[in-house]
A and B are shown apart, each in its own frame.
Chain A
């Protein structure tokens, strides 16, 4: 068994009176794309800064590629690449200069990397001053610099938040290429479709704690299926206890636990259902369930 890319348990970090991280757990296996989700202010960026050795944790154990991210920061940084959520660049330098600067900083000779190909693929004009770049273009600069480096771990903090859909597809392709080459990816994102598309597993956090973690298909399985059916007027299906029904004329809508599904389908059949659709929970519903603060 290879070393996990990220192993975090019981992470605690307080800023004054606020606990940004409060016992967070996170495991990212080697070679997987891991979605990292949570509402604004949940502690995603704080976790990422701890992963990068920019914050010292108050408590908890954290291993990155088998090493301590605080103590071995520089040697670890040679093995990973990072794209911040809000990319700030040097206003007077051009995008090309910044890309080359970041590549040299990790000991690479820009000309011997895929830099030019990536610049082309992302549709970036590298001769413009960073001051004149839009948010999306600044993001492209950081993405090109990250993807041009052969690394074992990519840490991406909302990497596509400013990108148009076409560029977001280039991004997804680049992620897959790196995964195929053996890299692990931590993908923090609010773009649910993207996570659904790319990630095998997700961790959802709220208020500095891990709420849910697991394979996406398993998580789906734990959640309710939405059922929509057309019944003859005036017929009430005999539903198992606890299943709520929302009726609008001939159309009924139900939200059903996986365990109750056979009984519900039976009841609908008995009631003479003429039309039926059942949809697995969308990722969106998964998130909303997990994001919502406990009542």
Chain B
């Protein structure tokens, strides 16, 4: 017997519809930006390299540069204009789609569970894994949808049909794998933050494996067995190995799909076995007494795990960059390598370029750390944790100063770790470099990162009452960071005027160590960041809480 008020449609479809409504803005905006980048690259790049000869020359230059190969993967089939047009997108920007999928799946699995919403749903007629299923379906839909649209945009921009389809499939494939990966991570970790941390560790590992494999293969027509194995071990390496713009290896699609299905089944199995609210690793009792003092001691204690993880990741990044950089010397012995090196400014320049590029990426990453701290502060306020402390004699000013300090200072240390890792690897590799030069390059992006974080702090402190309060501090921060990165990437491609590209703080970071690490622009950015932070701290102590 069904009640007269029974809802129609399967429970799963209901969940899916509810989830879609929550995600529409995020998914829509994120996909639009991604597709805009696809369109801009597909339309603009063929104009930059009109004939096959120019494309082959460009491909040779890129393939000879460990920096570019480490970041983007090799250029394999330059005769097809699509290969060069999608060079940055195949691996590196596919990570942006991966990030979207991770956010979507995480939000509807561990995020809901942590917030206690899952409990409410699990008490209804929905099954134990219904919510996981809905999240996976939604994530898969996003991955497939964006992949299909990317292929469509490529075709509409004049690239070849087969290549575009294979390229879109490679995006969708990585997206699907990340859906499964996040679903598993959400069963293991007990918090939403922990879930993304696990996913990031795996993605970082995959990226490093691929980078090492691709760089090791530079200038070798027959790459060694170990580098081949490394490349295939990483799903991020499959994007270029699909040969989308030459003779696509369509069977690779089965690899992505198979891994995605296997991970999803594993996640369902784990979800079916564990208690609601728990992870795979049980919570152990802790100290019955504490020595923490608020607010700084508390902040450091709460961020300890994340800071350790970030430190390890950035130290590893530095080590990797330092290990790959000296390999440039081998290029001198390969055909065409000498010519490429000379044109780019002589020996050492390519190694420097790799270190510079890695430091620039690290700068963007540490800005994300700062925004994450602002997001934590916002979360403390929303959840009511801040209320407990705000009712003690700790002043609002001190609370705000602590948030600012823990958002801005660790990025400096983390960037320093990139430099240290780089130096250690260079020294071990028998190519020692002057410490000040490498450390200078590593720290160079800090003022730009600090400026972005300061904008996020202002958004948190002022809490503009626009968009129905949706424009919270962390949102302001993420939007600023995304806009800065997109401007930096699209600006040169679309030949935007310098002042527009210059709106991105990261545009003013010198490409050290090839050029001096410090410029007046960085001083201005550091000053601006300091002023904005001071405004944020004052402003926070004057507004309503909650």
Chain A residues with CB under 8 Å of chain B are 49, 52, 54-56, 73-75, 77-78, 80-82, 84, 86-94, 96-102, 104-107, 110, 125-129, 131-132, 142, 155
In the complex the two chains form, is A96's CB within 8 Å of B283's CB? no
Q: Which of B177-222 contact A (CB under 8 A)?
A: 190-191
Known pairs A49-B387, A96-B286 / 16 extra A-B pairs, C-beta < 8 Å: A49-B545, A54-B387, A55-B544, A73-B396, A88-B388, A91-B190, A91-B191, A93-B301, A101-B290, A104-B292, A104-B293, A110-B289, A126-B289, A127-B288, A128-B283, A129-B283
Q: Pick the most buried of A80, A92, A99, A128: most chain B CB atoms within 10 A of its CB.
A: A92
- Which chain A residues lie closer than 8 Å to B396 at the CB level? 73
At the interface, yes or no: B57 with Cβ under 8 Å from chain A? no
Which of B288, B293, B395 has its CB near the most chain A CB atoms (within 10 A)? Answer: B288
> In the bound complex, do residue A106 and residue B283 qualify as a contact, i.e. CB atoms below 8 Å apart?
no
| B544 contacts A56, C-beta separation under 8 Å | yes
Chain A interface secondary structure, helix, strand, loop or mixed? mixed
B417 CB to closest chain A CB (Å) equals: 24
B393 within 8 A of A: yes
Q: Does B285 contact A (CB under 8 A)?
A: yes
7 closest residue pairs by CB, A with B: A97-B290, A82-B391, A105-B392, A54-B545, A100-B290, A94-B286, A96-B288
Instruction: Judge if B430 is at the interface, Cβ distance under 8 Å.
Output: no
Q: How far is the CA of A49 from the CA of B543 in the complex (A)?
A: 13
- The complex places the Cα of A81 from the Cα of B389 at a distance, in Å, of 11
What's the least CB distance linking A241 to chain B, in Å?
48
Q: Which B84-111 residues have a C-beta within 8 angstroms of A?
A: none
**For this complex, into which size category does the number of interface residues on chain B fall?**
35 or more
Quick check: A128 and B285 within 8 Å, CB to CB?
Answer: yes
Bound-state Cα–Cα, A87 to B546, Å: 14
B286/A93 in contact, CB under 8 A: yes
Can you sample 9 A-B contacts with CB below 8 Å? A49-B387, A54-B391, A74-B394, A78-B393, A88-B385, A91-B191, A96-B287, A97-B287, A101-B294
The interface residues of chain B lying within 8 Å CB-to-CB of A96 are: 286-290
B287 touches A127 (CB 8 A): yes
A105–B295 Cα gap in the complex (Å)?
8
Complex Cα distance, B289 from A110, in Å, reads: 9
Q: Which residue of A lies closest to B382 (CB)?
A: A88
**In the complex, how many angstroms separate the beta carbon of A266 from the nearest chain B beta carbon?**
54
- B258-299 CB mask vs A (1 if < 8 Å, else 0) is 000000000000000000000000010111111111100110
Other-chain residue from B190, B283, B393, B542 in contact with A105 (beta carbon distance below 8 A): B393
Tally of A-B Cβ pairs under 8 angstroms = 123
Residue from B191, B283, B293 with most neighbouring chain A CB atoms (10 Å): B283
Please, how many angstroms separate the alpha-carbon atoms of A107 and B114 in the complex?
Answer: 32
Is the Cβ of B388 less than 8 Å from the Cβ of A97?
Answer: no
Judge whether B393 and A126 touch: CB under 8 Å. no
Binding site for A on B (CB under 8 A): 114, 190-191, 283, 285-294, 297-298, 301-302, 305, 383-385, 387-396, 542-546
Which residue of B391, B394, B542 contacts A80 across the interface (Cβ within 8 Å)?
B391
Q: How far is the CA of A84 from the CA of B545 in the complex (A)?
A: 14
Partner of B289, one of A49, A87, A100, A142: A100
For the complex formed, measure the closest distance between the CB of A139 and the CB atoms of chain B, giving whole angstroms.
Answer: 12
Interface contact A54-B287, CB-CB below 8 Å: no
B384/A86 in contact, CB under 8 A: yes
A75, B289: Cβ atoms closer than 8 Å: no
Residues of chain A within 8 A of B289, CB atoms compared: 96-97, 100, 110, 126
The answer for the CA separation of A278 and B283 in the assembled complex, in Å, is: 57
Of the candidates B283, B290, B293, B384, which one forms a contact with A132 in the assembled complex, judged by CB atoms under 8 Å apart? B283
CA distance A100 to B383 in the complex (A): 20
A10 to B383, CA, bound (A): 30
Please determine whether B286 and A97 come into contact, CB atoms closer than 8 angstroms. Answer: yes
A75 to B394, alpha carbons, bound, how many Å?
9
Identify which of B286, B294, B385 contacts A104 (C-beta below 8 A): B294
A107 touches B393 (CB 8 A): yes
Known interface pairs A55-B544, A91-B191, A127-B287. Does A106 touch B293 (Cβ–Cβ under 8 Å)? no
Q: Among the listed B191, B305, B384, which residue makes an inter-chain contact with A84, where contact means beta carbons less than 8 Å apart?
A: B384
Shortest distance from the beta carbon of B303 to any chain A beta carbon, whole Å: 11
A73 and B294 in contact (CB under 8 A), knowing A54-B546, A100-B289, A129-B285?
no
Chain A residues lying within 8 Å of B285, measured Cβ to Cβ, are 94, 125, 127-129
Residues of chain A with a CB closer than 8 A to B391's CB? 52, 54, 77, 80-82, 155
Across the interface, do A93 and B546 meet the contact criterion of CB distance under 8 Å? Answer: no
Cα-based distance from A274 to B392 in the complex (angstroms): 62
Distance (whole angstroms) from the CB of B287 to the closest CB of chain A: 6
A94 touches B287 (CB 8 A): yes
A101-B388 Cα distance, complex, nearest whole Å: 11
CA separation between A269 and B351, bound complex, in Å?
A: 109
Q: Tell me which residues across on chain A come within 8 A of B190, comparing CB atoms.
A: 91, 131
**Would you call B384 and A102 a contact (CB within 8 A)?**
no
Which of A78, A81, A82, A100 is B292 in contact with, Cβ under 8 Å?
A100
B293, A101: Cβ atoms closer than 8 Å: yes
Contact A129 B286 (CB under 8 A): yes
List chain B residues, Cβ under 8 A from A132. Answer: 283
B286, A127: Cβ atoms closer than 8 Å: yes
Please name all residues of chain A whose beta carbon is closer than 8 Å to the beta carbon of B387 when the two chains form the complex.
49, 54, 82, 84, 88
If A84-B384, A90-B385, A100-B292 touch, whether A54 touches B392 (CB-CB below 8 Å) is no
Closest to B305 in A: A92
Which chain A residue shows the least CB distance to B379? A88
A28 to chain B, nearest CB (A): 17
Q: How far is the CB of B113 from chain A (nearest CB, A)?
A: 11
